[in-house]
Amino acid sequence: MRKLLGERTIYVDPSSHSCFTTIQAAIDSVPSNNKDWILISIKAGTYNEQVVIPGDKPFIHLKGEGMGRTNVVWEAHQYMLNTSTFGSIADNIVVSGITFMNSYNYPPNENKNPVKPAVAAMISGDKSAFYECSFLGYQDTLLDDKGRHYFKRCKIEGSTDFIFGSGQSIYEQCVISVNGGVANPDSISYIAANARSSENDSSGFVFKRCNVTGTGTTYLGRAWKSYSRVIYSNSFLSDNVIPQGWDAWDFVGQENRLTFAEYECNGSGSDKSNRVKWEKNLSPMEYLSFTSYAYIDTDGWIQKLPLNVLD
């Protein structure tokens, strides 16, 4: 981790009388329109609270003690803009070593609630990076809402459209875990539902060197909006990926506008011989334009983060 000039540390430890006992209280203590990186160091444990970084509190690094060790758990559903377990609205945010869970439908094999949209995290700020975090849910787990985002060595688990939104994001070396067929053995899952809405929209989800695995059968993605863009590159695709691969959803007849593509993937689910005929065949240079960091970082923001996420 890089120590930056002006950076200070705030500690969260429920067992200590000299630290903040909740993550939200620590965030609330950050001055509005802060301009220097502030590290919020969070002790291992389970925090049953809803956590929000508001738009006027940029330059925060939330640092837990590891996936499955520092856990934020909340149970809410339906109106996703204010019920997510974690909401990150500010620009210039880094989160590392934390698990975010929406327990309304999770874990699906132990939960009897009716299935509803239940968001574990909503990311709406620009220049946001997540390193070794996990996002656990069932329907609509991760709302990659808007802005440029980078996810490295994370785990995202769910069943229905569990990575969705209008974000412009690269997911690198992440585990994409499908938990379909658990709550409903006959259900078919959908991993990514990107909401790119026009030809000039820069939104898109790029899965680079990821591992797609899990239970049940799944599509790689479906079109939430008319110019949806989802790309898998050099990733492992397990046999739960259905042969067709992609679903045009409400945009049948407009498939030429969609950019759903795969490049040099492997695994039994990567056989493209029965893919939908309208899957895009991009050139190596086109793939490079999406998989290089320049797709999300033309101004060097990743290099300026307090954590070297590119290692």
CATH code, domain with 91: 2.160.20.10
Which of 97, 94, 41, 99 is closest to 74 using CA atoms?
99
Q: Do 171 and 282 share a domain, yes or no? A: yes
Checking 108-114 for CB contacts under 8 A at 24+ apart, the result is 108/138, 108/159, 108/179, 108/182, 108/183, 109/182, 109/183, 111/138, 111/183, 113/77
**94 and 13 part of one domain:** yes
Judge whether 137 and 72 are in contact, CB under 8 Å.
no
Q: What is the rounded CA–CA span in Å between residue 149 and residue 47? A: 25
Domain count, the chain: 2
Do 90 and 177 reside in the same domain of the chain?
Answer: no
* Residue range of the domain that includes 214: 159-297
In a shared domain, residues 92 and 207: no
User: What pLDDT is stored for residue 87 in this prediction?
Assistant: 98
130 in a structural domain: no
* Structural domain contains residue 49: yes
- The contacts of residue 144 (CB under 8 Å, 6+ apart) are 123, 163, 164, 165, 166, 167, 169, 205
Residue 244 lies in a domain: yes
Say whether both 96 and 210 belong to one domain.
no
Residue 187: its pLDDT value, please?
Answer: 84
- In a domain, residue 196? The reply is yes
Q: What percent of the chain has pLDDT over 70?
A: 98
What are the tokens at 50?
A: 């809803």
- Residues serving a catalytic function are 140, 161
Per-residue pLDDT, 186: 74
pLDDT in tens, 219-253: 999 999 999 999 999 999 999 999 999 999 999 99
Residue 2 pLDDT > 70: no
- Residue 259 belongs to a domain: yes
Backbone angles phi, psi at 226, to 5 degrees: -75, -15
The answer to the question of residue 275 being in a domain is yes
Residue 311 lies in a domain: no
- The dihedrals phi and psi of 81, each to the nearest 5 degrees, come to -75, -15
Would you give the DSSP letter of residue 241? B
SS3 of 168-206? EEEEECCEEEEECCCCCCCCEEEEEEECCCCCCCCCEEE
> How much is the pTM?
0.96
Q: What does the pLDDT read at residue 18? A: 83
Q: What is the pLDDT of residues 253-309, one digit of tens each?
A: 999 999 999 999 999 999 999 999 999 999 999 999 999 999 999 999 999 999 999
Question: Could you give the CA distance from residue 186 to residue 63 in angstroms, rounded to a whole number?
Answer: 39
Per-residue pLDDT tens over the stretch 166-214: 999 999 999 999 999 776 777 899 999 999 999 999 999 999 999 999 9
Same domain, 293 and 165: yes
Flag whether 304 is in a domain.
no
